[in-house]
Amino acid sequence: MMKVFLVLVVCIHGIVEAGSLLDTPGVTPVEALIAPIQKLRGVDAVAKALGLKKPFSLEDVLSEDLPGAVTRHRLALLYNDLRVLVFTIQATSDADGYFTGSASGYIPTISNLDTSVKVSVKDLKQATADYVNSKNIRQDIGNIAAKDVSRFTATKAIHVDKLTGVPRVVYFCEGVVDTIPSYNRWPRVLFDALTLRVIIGSVQVRYADNDDTLDVLGSILGKGTDKSCPSIQGGNQKYPFPVYGPGRNQVCLNAEVKGKKCSLANKRVTIKSLENGMDVSKAKVVSFKCEDGLSDGINGASSPASDAYYYGQKFYDFLEEWGNVDTKDYDPIDIFVHYGNNFDNSFFDGASIYLGDGSSLLFPLASPEIIAHELCHRETARFGNLKFESESLAIDESHSDICGRAFSAYLQIVADDNWDFGANIVKQSNLALRYFDDPTRDNWSIKNVNDFDRTTNPFQAVGIFNSVYNSLVEQHNFSHRDAFRTFLLANRLYWQEETDFQNGACGVKRAAKDLRLNVAAVDSAFGAVGIPLTSCSTLGGGR
């Protein structure tokens, strides 16, 4: 049976042993440091109550309003104004805005760490290129140079070794290498700032062809003027919806109108066409004469650009209504359509989304579940930022799958008991990308942690958390909305760069408690996939 993944290959370097941060030398649980009943005004007062002294400080990076008139905050731990990776604190404030002293998380021991070391962007870029070369992925195409790493970013931070407790200044670097027409590589690497030694990293590879040597492939937006609701057929031959237009039973696209010209660009989403190329510098915002509609049909789909624009906008509504997320300060996101030539894939590169037009296997990937999957990677990057370990990568991908499935439920475009993920873009009638009810139906994925080891491709393990989501809805009477909200809250408050299956599941349990949902159901669902939560602490939750 075929296997389809939006990202196909991951090469991991430096996987560390899973375990609680409490096992790391020098780490102290927050609950042991702070009295639970206080009236603290602001994060500086919380830092003082925890005994944190300069150069330590806290930054309030996220707040979530919860039942019971309380707000849970995600506080980043800083040292000399540098983010301490992995270590976050969850604190609770009351209806008057005072922090109550109810808090959780961990604090490492850091003292006299010299954070003045600096590494040039040039050297970091070269180190990233060297790392890609060291992975020996298709070396027949030649050596990758620093100039080949585009869309490069480097973030200075502090990383604490899980096994030794030793802190060090690091740079987290990521970029894209797309010099080869048939595929590109996305390196994400953590470098020691003093030595440029690789601490941990990965290279994710997206293929644009069907190389048979690979184990792969396998509501209306609102009222608008007639011009902003151009008549366009959406969907594909398998799923010929929606139909855009101003009429009854049609969907208004809410295009931006200037004179007689419509553009697929607004404060939320901008659609740019690569016209089956890969050079983003040549991409153009999709525009057309409003009265003519849009004709960018390809490979059995009527208008991938229109679908990407519509679902991209609706995703914001979904986050606000089902996720309780305030999106008013979100930067608009670029979605690139018609990426590559016969590209059976999609991906998020840390800033933008890229959608291929498929080939003989898939229709174009501008479908609701795929777009929500990719947009949820941006949500994870904002807070949980899962990236370093094989288990955290699996959780990241699963969370995006869960997001896509919940988005379909929000749009009411598939039955609640339909667990075939992405079936509307697979050309063969009886196949889907993945299966929530039984991930092993593709003869590749696993659904239990007991089947996971160091040789397991992280994307084979996406079915573990997918199965839990399915179980909560099908067996434990969670609505799709409540199940999604639980995972999203865990991502936003409790997950971090090195979250493994055990701690990720514990975060979901804590989120269920925060939301006053059935915690015993979460225990049962994770127990069924081999993750017991009997030792999971839910202290510091203000309940």
How confident is the model over 325-353, as pLDDT tens digits?
999 889 999 999 999 999 999 999 889 99
Chain position carrying tokens 């760069």: 497
Instruction: Determine the Cα–Cα distance for residues 15 and 163; give it in Å rounded to an integer.
Output: 12
| Per-residue pLDDT, 540 | 60
pLDDT band at 219 (very low <50, low <70, confident <90, very high): very low
Span 236-259, pLDDT tens digits = 999 999 999 998 889 999 999 999
pLDDT score for 18: 39
What pLDDT was estimated at residue 176?
87
Measured on CA atoms in the order 9, 390, 77, 482, is the torsion positive or negative?
A: positive
Instruction: Categorize the per-residue pLDDT at 1 as very low, low, confident or very high, splitting at 50, 70 and 90.
Output: very low
Average confidence (pLDDT) over 123-135: 92
At residue 271, the 3 state secondary structure works out as strand
Query: Does the structure show a pLDDT above 50 at 406?
Result: yes
Instruction: Estimate the share of the chain in helix, then strand, then coil, as percent rounded to the nearest 5.
Output: 30, 25, 45
The answer for residues whose C-beta is within 8 angstroms of residue 440's C-beta and 6 or more apart is 446, 447, 463
Check residue 224 and give its pLDDT: 62
Position 141 scores a pLDDT of 60
Mean pLDDT of 212-219: 32
When mean pLDDT is compared across 139-153, 435-449, 454-468, the lowest value belongs to: 139-153
Does the pLDDT at position 208 exceed 80? no
pLDDT of residue 237: 96
Sequence-ordered list of residues with C-beta below 8 angstroms from that of 531, at least 6 positions apart, any chain: 449, 464, 501, 502, 505
Whether cis (ω within 30° of 0) applies to the bond prior to 242 is: yes
pLDDT of residue 7: 44
Predicted pLDDT at 350:
85
Is pLDDT larger for residue 540 or for residue 269?
269
Q: Average per-residue pLDDT in the chain?
A: 89
Residue 4's pLDDT is 46
The answer to whether 507 touches 495, Cβ cutoff 8 Å, is: yes
pLDDT-derived band at 382 (thresholds 50, 70, 90) equals confident
pLDDT in tens, 391-405: 999 999 999 999 999
pLDDT at position 521 is: 98
Please tell me the predicted confidence (pLDDT) of residue 212.
34
pLDDT of residue 180: 66
Mean pLDDT, range 88-111, rounded to an integer: 95
Q: What is the rounded average pLDDT of the residues 30-51?
A: 94
Over residues 282-303, mean pLDDT: 96
Confidence grade of residue 12 (pLDDT, cut at 50, 70, 90): very low
Strand, coil or helix: 300:
coil
Residue 239's pLDDT is what? 95
How far apart, in whole angstroms, are the C-alpha atoms of residue 261 and residue 493? 43
pLDDT at residue 15, rounded to an integer: 34
